[in-house]
Every structure is written in C-alpha cells, then in structure tokens.
Structure 1
Amino acid sequence: MAAPPAPSLRPLRTAPPPSSRGGIGLAQGRYGLRGNLELVLCDAQDGLWVLWFNNDPPGTAPEPGGPPPGEWSGALRFATGRRYDEVTVVQSRHGPHHLELLARSGDAAHRLRWSPESAFTAEPPPPCGPARSVTVAETGDGTLWTASLTPDGALRTLRADASAYPRLTWTDATPSHPPPADTRWTRTALVDGDEAAGSRPGTVLVGDRDGVHLSPGAATTDLPAGSEVAAVAADGGARLYLWTAGPWLDVLVPGHPGRTRRLPLPGSGAVTALAATSLPHEPGCVDLVVRRAGRLWHLRDTGDENVAVATELVSRLTPAPADTDTPRPVHRG
C-alpha cells in the first residue's frame, strides 16, 4: 500500500501497534522498490487494521508521511462493524496488484479487496459455509484458493475462476482423499506463491494432538501438535512454522525430516498469532510476525541453523497536531 499524503512535515514518532486479537495476515506486496510487507490485524473489539513495512534499501527516501526503510507504518482501521477472529492476506496478480483478504468473524467468512482506486471494499465471500478456520492463497498461475475447516473438523477447499475479477466464481476442489474429519483440527493454512502453474497449493491442518501436511500431489506428512502455524513456499518447496510450547518455532520441511530446525523466539509467554511470507528478492529468506503475550515481533529467517533476526514491531507515524508538549502518535481509525 502507498502512504497517504502527509498532513504536515511534523517528525515521525514511535508507537506500539494497536491492540489485536485472533489471527494475523502477512504478505509481501507489489509497492516499493522491493515489495513492502502488508500486515493485517484483528482489532481487539471492532474491525481490522493494516500496517505496511518499508522494504526499500537503506538510504532510500521514504514516501511523504511514510516510514523510512526498515520501519513499520502507522495502522489504518477498516471493515468496522464486527469483531474478527482470523485473517489472511495475499498480494494478488489480479486487478492488477490488488490485495485479497479472507477474514473470519465467528463461523462466517468475509472477503475484502484493496485497490488503489477504492481502498478496502467488501466482496461476496466464498461459499465455504460455517467454519472454525479459513484461509486464502494464490498459486503461481494466479488461481485463488480457499481452505476451511467445517465445525466438525472436515477440510473443504474451493477454487476460484477469476476471469471476471473482482467477481469470483467458486467451485469445490476438496482433495479426493482429504484427511478424515476430526474436531481436533483447529487451524488450517495453505502454501501459496511458488507452486507450479496449474497446481493446487499444499494444505496444513494442525490441532492440539497432531497435525498433517497434504502436498499438491496428495502425499501426506504427519506433523507434531501445534496451536499456531504458518506456511510458505521457500527454497522450492514448503516451509512450515509451528509453535507448540517453549521459546522457539519448529521449522519443518515436509518430506525432509532431516531439515527440521528450531528458530529462537524473542519475548516471553504463549504465541497467540503467527504469519509468514517469503521474500522473492532474498531467496531462501522468510519474514514472520509473531504475537507473544500481546507484543508483536518481526522476525527474518535466513534459513541458517537456529538463527533469526528479531525486532519488536513498532510504528513510525505522525503525531497529532494538538499534542505540542507531549506528542502522541495517531493511528488512523
């Protein structure tokens, strides 16, 4: 997303991001010299927030009102009127370069689309029915997919015909031999991005007792139990990030048990949200946002053994004009 015009030349100040709950969405966008990161949060009470990370090289002049390279923007609230539990965002090829969001409020899915002309607009949601978890992905050929878990824990996959975009026509694409329905499944994720053209994305299901990865070719890999999961395509295949307990993430490569790593986590407490995106300009690298004990952390996994670059996520934004003595940064609600 591009930064809005700056209301003045007041200096940028630092502030924590808005309080959030539930799942988070993260994707590398098309804007900026190397593709800024787009982060979507579920507000603690009402609506969604979006922030962007300036991924330009150090020393590049920032956009007016925007953060400098290596910093996060202030947050913009949208989609108010309901409390959300989960959200996924992808940078779509369609539009061109619109953002596609799939959010869940209770057991209902909601589709939102961002375009430069209209900002965020509500679109008809995919017909996935009541769900305990939903996610959206786009494969290399531009096909949009959703996966959802029904209330009884059954996997349902839908594929979109985007020839009349932004109108999408959805058809059932659930694998012919999906994992058995089980109420132990609590999260689902799709592996998008670098999958071969024409191929379906990989699918991940996790729960309190175990998990499973279903490859595009329908091969299954058992996973350990986990409460939070993120999945990306990196190094030519799937890379899964799973939190169970302790100060680390398990980094798994389905089908390659010898490549399992543990990525140290900053902060303390339980992980309550996790999202990841690969970085085309840095092959093998993955950026993650993790929430622990209410604090958000931005991590970069370079693929090296047990090494991650981690910083607490804070916003750089313009202070309110009335706050002359003790400037207070303002998120745009």
Structure 2
Amino acid sequence: MAAAPPPAPRTALPPPNRGGLAFAQGRYGLRGNLELLLCDEEDGLWVLWFNNDPEDTAPEPGGPPPGEWSGALRFGTGRRYDGVQVVQSAHGPHHLEVLATSGARTHRLRWNPETAFTTEEPPPTGRVRSASLTENPDGTLWTVVLAEDGSPRLFRADAGAYPRLAWEPAPLALARPRGPGAVLLVPLPDAPRPGLALLGASGGSYLAPDGDETALPAGLVGAAVVRGAVPRLYVWNEAAERIDVVDLGTPDPYRGLRLPGEGPVTALAATTLDHDPHRTDLVLRRGGRLWHVSDTGGDAPARSVPLLSRLTRTPGDEDRAVHRTS
C-alpha cells in the first residue's frame, strides 16, 4: 500500500507591513537561517526566518521545511515604526541587534535566547530622517543617520560592557546627496570603519574607509552588502524599472537586475550567504507585495518568488494562527 501523502502545509502571506525592512543571515540552523524584520502597518515589528538547511534535512514539527519561510512573530509593540535595520552580532553570542526608526526618533532592540526581544538604550542620534546599523568583523558597532537637515552623522559604539553600548560621534567628511533618500553602512574586512553610501534622487555617493568618494546612480531605495572585500550596492532605478547593481572598485562595476511584479520598489534589503559565495539574497516590496530574490551575478537571471510563510502540519494545529502576536 502506498504511503499517504503528507498533509498540506499551513500557508499565509506576510502580515500587512509598511516602511522599511531588514534582512540578515543569522547563526541558527545548519548553515545559518535568514532573518527578516518588517514594520507593522499600525503597531510594532515582525520577525520571520527562512529555513536555510539543506533540502534533505527534516524540518522541526510545525516549522518551515528547508527553502521556506516561517510564520511571523510580533514584538516591539507600543509604537508605529517607519524603518528597521538588523545585524547578527558577534556579541552575546547569537544576539540580534535591531535599530528602528519611529517618526524622527531611533530605537534599539536586542534579541537574545534567554529573554527574546528587549528594549535597550538607543544611540544619541537626535532627530533623524533615516538610519543604518552595522557591525565590523571585529565586533565594533556603527550607526549612521541622516539628520533632519539632511547631513549624515556617524556613531561608533564601545561594546566592552555589552549589551550596554557607549556611543560616540565619529568624524565624517562626505558631501550631502542631492535629495537624500537613504544612508547605508557596509562592513569591510580589515578596515578600521565601514564604508558609507548616501542615496539621492539625482545621484548619490560612496565614501570608502580611506576617504575616497565615488559617485553612485540615482535612487531613493537601496541595500548594501560586501562580497569578500568588494562593496556591492543595490539601488532601485525607477526610470528604468530595474535594480542598478554596483560592485565598487571592480573593472566592470555596473549591471542591471530585472525584478518581478509591477510598480515602484518601496523597500529593499539584502544579505550574502556564507554557504554560497556567488549568491546574494534580497527581499523587496513592489506593488504592495514582498518578493524573495536570489542574485547569483553576471548574466544569470535572478530567481524570484513571492514571499509566503509555509509551515508543516502537526496534530491539533488546525486553529493555530500562522503569525503570532506573542
């Protein structure tokens, strides 16, 4: 007698979300699951994870199979957020550092295995338009913001008493973008500080750790990663309806990446993957829908799928929600 097919998975679209999103490879799982943070339409943040285990790995009961997304968990309630950043920290260990903006204020949250998400003292940024967070390979945390007047301000954290962080302003000499849209940090190996990119409607600029400045294509929405020692920028080009990909400092730095869906890209985040040196994964919002995109570079077309939570079934879970609020 043939075995009965497995029960259909429990599926759901992501929770209604707005503003920015954050994406990083974490430490859990056999080769580092992916962590995604979303701003809820009204209250708090959501976190989902992508099962990055090999295809033949058995999933946890009720969890997503390899190659699928988990349900979402809400945290940080009590305010409506506009943007969010996340890094997998070397401190803790296995803690996630989260920097979010609500109105003109920044907020710091931290995930740890003992108490889940906790609220921490934010960096002394003052009132801001946008913010970015990163951690250098040596464990130094950095935040950069666009102040209300459009000027960038950089902060460095002494993590000697982690999780308490002592933030100090760091010198920065960079021209303002024309029509500032976003500010991004790029952690670079063997560099004393991260690279910094400012995006603008009429063009942007990238400041290397040694002070060299490079012009960037126009765009208000973008993401940054580093491949080896090469900074890579993904910038949404609304006029051409594509992502402009810039590998800074390489002989042939520019290429285009076509995207699924229709309409403007309103949020974009990216992460490299430790187990695949040629692949960068992106999550983007286009036409009100989230997409998971895998870019392997060169002329190869990107793999794009709608982002969907897909959980294995267990007995008694018929009435259990895919997304959880606590």
Instruction: Please name the residue that 1:46 is paired with.
Output: 43
CA contact (8 A) 2:133 2:144 kept: yes
Q: Among 288, 294, 299, which residue is 2:288 paired with? A: 294
Q: Distance in 1 between matches of 2:114 and 2:46?
A: 19
Q: Among 13, 20, 24, which residue is 1:23 paired with? A: 20
Letter aligned with residue 204 of structure 1: A
CA contact (8 A) 1:15 1:329 kept: no
Residue 214 of structure 2 corresponds to residue 221 of structure 1: yes
Instruction: Please name the residue that 2:175 is paired with.
Output: 179
Q: Among 142, 158, 162, which residue is 1:161 paired with? A: 158
Task: Judge which range, 259-268 or 33-42, deviates more.
Answer: 259-268
Instruction: Please name the residue that 1:5 is paired with.
Output: none
CA contact (8 A) 1:148 1:157 kept: yes
Q: Distance in 1 between matches of 2:253 and 2:246?
A: 7
Change (3 A) 1:258 1:126: same
Displacement of 1:210: 1.1
CA contact (8 A) 2:61 2:312 kept: no
CA contact (8 A) 1:111 1:123 kept: yes
SS at match of 1:285: strand
Displacement of 1:10: 8.2
- Alignment: residue pair count: 319
Percentage of matched positions with identical amino acids: 57
Structure 1 residue runs of 5 or longer lacking an equivalent are: 1-8
SS at match of 2:205: strand
Q: Among 299, 303, 307, which residue is 1:305 paired with? A: 299
Q: Distance in 2 between matches of 1:146 and 1:28?
A: 19
Instruction: Please name the residue that 2:259 is paired with.
Output: 265
CA contact (8 A) 2:64 2:312 kept: no
CA contact (8 A) 2:189 2:229 kept: no
Letter aligned with residue 162 of structure 2: Y
Q: Distance in 2 between matches of 1:330 and 1:66?
A: 10
SS at match of 2:243: strand
1:165-213 Cα shifts (integer Å, max 9, x gaps): 00000111132x2224x67212001112xx1245211111112111111
Ranges of 4+ aligned residues in structure 1 off by more than 4 Å: 318-324
Q: Among 75, 94, 101, which residue is 1:97 paired with? A: 94
Instruction: Please name the residue that 1:131 is paired with.
Output: 128
1:203-240 Cα shifts (integer Å, max 9, x gaps): 11112111111111111111121020100001421000
CA contact (8 A) 1:319 1:329 kept: no
Displacement of 1:247: 3.5
Instruction: Please name the residue that 2:310 is paired with.
Output: 316
Residue 200 of structure 2 corresponds to residue 200 of structure 1: no
Change (3 A) 1:60 1:219: same
List aligned pairs for 1:219-258, cutoff 5 A.
219-245=212-238, 246-256=240-250, 258=252
Change (3 A) 1:258 1:20: same
Aligned-residue Cα RMSD (Å) equals 2.1
1:137-177 Cα shifts (integer Å, max 9, x gaps): 011111100000001111100011101000000111132x2
Displacement of 1:319: 7.9
Change (3 A) 1:112 1:323: closer
1:28-85 Cα shifts (integer Å, max 9, x gaps): 0000011000000000111000000000000101123210000000000000110000
Instruction: Please name the residue that 1:35 is paired with.
Output: 32
Letter aligned with residue 175 of structure 2: P
Structure 2 residue runs of 5 or longer lacking an equivalent are: 1-5
Instruction: Please name the residue that 1:188 is paired with.
Output: 183
Displacement of 1:130: 0.5
Q: Distance in 2 between matches of 1:320 and 1:70?
A: 19
Q: Distance in 1 between matches of 2:237 and 2:171?
A: 28
SS at match of 2:210: coil
Change (3 A) 1:258 1:183: closer
Residue 270 of structure 2 corresponds to residue 276 of structure 1: yes
